[in-house]
Structure 1
Amino acid sequence: MGTFPGDNVSMTNDGVRMAAIHHFFTAASWIEGAATVQLEQVARLASMQAVAAFPDLHPGKYGPVGMAARADRLYPQLIGNDIGCGMALFELDMPLRKLSLDKAIEQFRQLETIEIASLEERLEECGLPADCHPHALGSLGGGNHFCELQAVHGLIGADTHATIDRQRLYLLIHSGSRSLGALIVHDTIKHAGSLSEGLDAGDEAGSVWLTAHDSAVEWAKLNRRIIAERAAACLRADLRLVVDVPHNLVRSDAGAFVHHKGSAAVSVGALAPIAGSRATLSYIVEALPGTEFSLGGISHGAGRKYDRQAMHGRVGLNRSEREALTGNSFGGRVICDDRALLIEEAATAYKNAATVVDDLVQFGLVRPMASMKPLITYKSAGGGAEVKRKDERRARERRRDQSRERRLRHD
């Protein structure tokens, strides 16, 4: 993945060791002060070697989101609960001209009720145990996760048409490892205790976490695939994977480990989606050789401008405002029956993805390939009897799995 030119670790005025921090953003990208404080805290961690910060940088729970950090120890807290979270782009064999948006919206509302056969077999095909949280497969989760039907807004570059078809519809899926990732973090803290000094990959605790991490990354990739299959089934279409890019994971790098937290893990020449908000454009970019000096990372999306709590009181103050939040200027619609989530995920909560991409271009990290407009953004749908029955069944399966896991630990 390369290193930064002139990499170094310095000592602060108060005598604390601090890794080099490299900013891959300009003054055009608004960065909250709390995020830069967290960035410095990461740089002060023991054995940290270098940190890269991207234009979607914003504060997170245990460290900033929108960064990559190289160390010779493992820091599970930097990755967080949603190990393997990422975005996958799929091309549908359904042409844009055949889309009836109103009909598609009604079909999309059934997304979480579509049955996917042989989940256990699908897990085993990925090298995972058949009982590895099958009840959670095909679920988006909350927060900023989504399933979005997109159309090409514009092609950028003469050769882009060979990769992106202007006449086709696309699915962009953002989700992760769900209950599996949360369980891994819980078990790691329970058995390893404090994670402030990191884990040695050669010790039992580090080895166990890394093995579980790898499983969660594969599980999350399968989860995105199944969500896409459900969406394609709603539209009675077939799909083709364009690219799947995780942004919450650890990658090995010449005896060290690069921690990606909200930074797309790319390789030179690979495509990657950079998500906008549900009312703004997303982008497909190609990673350039410059990413060899950004720890193999780029932005994964626009990045939050305001936290969730701050959005309450800013938008959605009355019924008409909330109704306005379910549409966008492209004629697209949002499916979200959770009022709080609708407000917290409003477009104004996010930065401008175009500015993020411009900054990445200025630093030689990416080449834009296409801009994509949101037609249907699925967040959550509820209230139907079928959905309730499915939720109840998943709850029973979850309790059963938790009971089995407790017995295994006890034994």
Structure 2
Amino acid sequence: MGNKLKGKDLIKLGFPKNNSINIALGQINRYRKREKKERILEEAKEVLQHPEKFQGNAIWGKVAEGLVKPVEVKMHQLRNTRVPFSIYGENEIDEQAKFQLYDALKLPIAVQGSLMPDAHYGYGLPIGGVLATENAVIPYGVGVDIGCRMCLTIYPIPVSFLKGKQHQYENILKNHTKFGMRETHDKKQDHEIFYRDEFTDIPLIKRLKDKAYKQLGTSGGGNHFVEFGTVSITEDNNEFGLKIGEYIGVLSHSGSRGLGANIAKHYTYLATKQCHLPKNVQHLAWLDMNSHDGQEYWLAMNLAGDYAKACHDNIHDRIAKLIGAKPIAKIENHHNFAWKETVNGNECIVHRKGATPAKKDELGIIPGSMTAPGFIVRGLGNTASLQSASHGAGRKHSRKKCKEKFTKSDIKHQLKMNDVTLIGGGIDEAPMAYKDIKKVMANQQELVEVLGTFTPKIVRMDK
């Protein structure tokens, strides 16, 4: 008897020949490969006799689902018409991004959509795309970097310190922030998130725990950053109780690191196995929220979002200790995530891929580029935009185009003109790669109101 469990082994026991069983075999062989086949078959017999006991089980839940209520695997066709949608700053958005949204609006699960003024082409949904769906979650509608977010802490320190203590602040970013695939902190810190049930109950997450522990408090590559800058508060009557004036701030942008990337990859694979779509929209494969995989992805996605927050908290705590001050305000928000929200009186799953939540009175931070200000905003709760706003300035040129178009001298010139010090950063993240943030903000005045700005002065990115 070969040790690898096969479909025919389960069929011999009396399992039906359906696709749920085939998908489940992958899970069993992946996570139970060191165990004896006889032992697994004994468990399988029990699952066959009492499938209701195993619903929700990390290993056997999918098999139990295949016995009780199998997920229907079929080819889905797009509707002929689009569901309602809004586009903000339409003239500034490339046609490819618009057509990506138009395709998403024809999905049979789509309810409503929106495109933010910083939008550009991406996988699945465009970056800056917002989509409400009925009882279904699209892993690529959330994105690969689950829970990617902004976090701004504001300190009661005179802005003159950015010049007077520049060398000290530069060293803090050089030596105490970590970026990319290889860098981690020498002194690791524990966090309550690692004691969550998901790290025990979901096999995929269990395997990623060590990586997540090592990467806590680190930032990704690409457009992720940690920076010191000047915060200007322009409205006295604000939720964080700051007077009009200028302060030192620390702004970070990063997500859920390897944990989120692996979750996205795994559940996108499962979605494409169960939800067959025309080639042009295959990245929009979804998971039914009533299915085992849909429920498990929802738990994993929320864990990744909380882990991203834990990373930012760790970054800001380390910096606060090094500058010897406590923050007087903190503003933060996700922008690659899905939420359960009410749309037109019904509960929907609202995907915001590169879009900031902007419910009525909700606070957020929308960054510019390394030489342009970011904006502290308060949401206006606009239902036409699905209560969303842009997540930044948005790319004007692709990474490839930047390498063809700009040189290191071009970047140095821009940095000098704006009195910005850059540590790390590549040509693909040139300030000129981004749209004009002021235009982007002008195109979303009905979505958010501005409470203040953050202007970068010392920027740290991946090398």
TM score, norm. by length of structure 1 = 0.79
SS at match of 2:113: strand
Number of residues of Structure 1 aligned to a counterpart in Structure 2: 355
- 1:53 matches 2:111: no
Q: Residues 88 and 258 (structure 1 numbering): CA distance in 2 closer, same or farther, change over 3 Å?
A: same
Instruction: Show the counterpart of 1:377.
Output: 459
Query: Which residue of the other structure, out of 178, 198, 213, is the alignment partner of 1:134?
Result: 213
SS at match of 1:216: helix
1:156: how far off? 3.3
Which of 302, 308, 327 matches 2:399?
308
Output the CA distance in 2 between the equivalents of 1:164 and 1:209. 43
CA distance in structure 2 between the aligned counterparts of 1:165 and 1:101, rounded to whole angstroms: 24
Residue 41 in structure 1 maps to residue 123 in structure 2: no
Give a deviation string over 1:340-359, Cα, whole Å, max 9, x none: x5211111100011111111
1:150-229 pair list within 5 angstroms? 150-152=229-231, 154-159=232-237, 162-163=241-242, 166-194=245-273, 196=282, 197-229=285-317
Q: How far apart are the structure 1 equivalents of 2:335 and 2:454?
A: 20
Question: 1:108·1:234 contact (CA, 8 Å) conserved in 2?
Answer: no
**Which range moves more in the overlay, 129-138 or 299-308?**
129-138
Kindly indicate whether the alpha-carbon contact (under 8 Å) linking 2:198 and 2:300 is maintained by their aligned counterparts in 1. no
**Aligned CA distance change for structure 1 residues 328 and 298 (closer, same or farther; 3 Å):** farther
Give the structure 2 partner of residue 346 of structure 1: 430
1:215, CA displacement in angstroms? 0.4
Give 2:190's aligned amino acid. Answer: E
Question: What is the identity, as a one-letter code, of the residue corresponding to 2:138?
Answer: Y
Tell me how far 1:120 sits from its aligned partner: 2.9
The residue that corresponds to 2:330 in the other structure is 242
CA contact (8 A) 2:235 2:244 kept: no
CA apart distance, 1:137: 0.9
Q: CA separation of 1:234/1:314 partners in 2, compared to 1, >3 Å: closer, same or farther?
A: farther
- Greater relative CO, 1 or 2 (CA 8 Å, sep 6+): 1
Map Cα deviations across residues 357-407 of structure 1 (whole Å, 9 max, x no partner): 11111xx211111122111111035xxxxxxxxxxxxxxxxxxxxxxxxxx
Q: Which residue identity lines up with residue 88 of structure 2 in the other structure?
A: F
Give the C-alpha shift of residue 328 in structure 1. 4.4
Alignment of 1:96-107 (within 5 A): 96-99=159-162, 100-107=165-172
How far apart are the structure 2 equivalents of 1:127 and 1:174? Answer: 27
Task: Give the Cα separation in 2 of the matches to 1:355 and 1:191.
Answer: 40
Q: 2:142 corresponds to which residue?
A: 79
Flag the 1:288–1:95 CA change in 2: closer, same or farther, 3 A.
same
Going from structure 1 to structure 2, the CA distance change for 1:165 and 1:313 (only over 3 Å counts) comes to same
**Structure 1 residues not aligned, in runs of 5+:** 1-13, 382-411
Query: What is the aligned partner in structure 1 of residue 318 from structure 2?
Result: 230
| Superposed CA offset, 1:291-331 (max 9, x none) | 23321211111000011000012111xx6445435x24342
Residue 88 of structure 1 contacts residue 241 of structure 1 at CA under 8 Å; is this kept in 2? Answer: no
Distance (Å, rounded) in 1 between the aligned partners of 2:243 and 2:95: 38
C-alpha distance 228-53 of structure 1, shift in aligned 2 (>3 A): same
1:15 deviation in Å? 6.4
- Residue identity in the other structure for 1:242: K
CA shift for structure 1 position 207: 0.7
The answer to which of 291-300 and 63-72 deviates more is 291-300
Q: 5+ residue gaps in structure 2?
A: 1-77, 179-183, 201-208, 276-281
Q: CA RMSD in A?
A: 2.5
Report the equivalent of 1:277: 369
CA distance in 1, matches of 2:299, 2:395: 31
Equivalents in 1 of 2:119, 2:246: separation in Å? 34
| CA distance in 1: counterparts of 2:138 and 2:225, whole angstroms | 27
Instruction: String of CA shifts for 1:194-235, please: whole Å, max 9, x gaps.
Output: 454411101011111111011011001111111222333443
Q: Is 1:35–1:58's contact at 8 Å kept on the other side of the alignment?
A: yes
Find the structure with the greater CA-based Rg.
2
Alpha-carbon distance between aligned partners in 1 of 2:293 and 2:172, rounded to the nearest angstrom: 46
Question: Identical aligned pairs, as a percentage?
Answer: 25
Question: Does structure 2 conserve the Cα–Cα contact (< 8 Å) formed by 1:90 and 1:240?
Answer: yes
> How far apart, in 2, do the equivalents of 1:21 and 1:328 lie?
42
CA distance in 2, matches of 1:299, 1:125: 34
Paired with 2:245 and 2:170, the residues of 1 have a C-alpha distance of 21
- After the TM superposition, which segments of 4 or more aligned residues of structure 1 sit over 4 Å from their partners? 113-118, 124-130
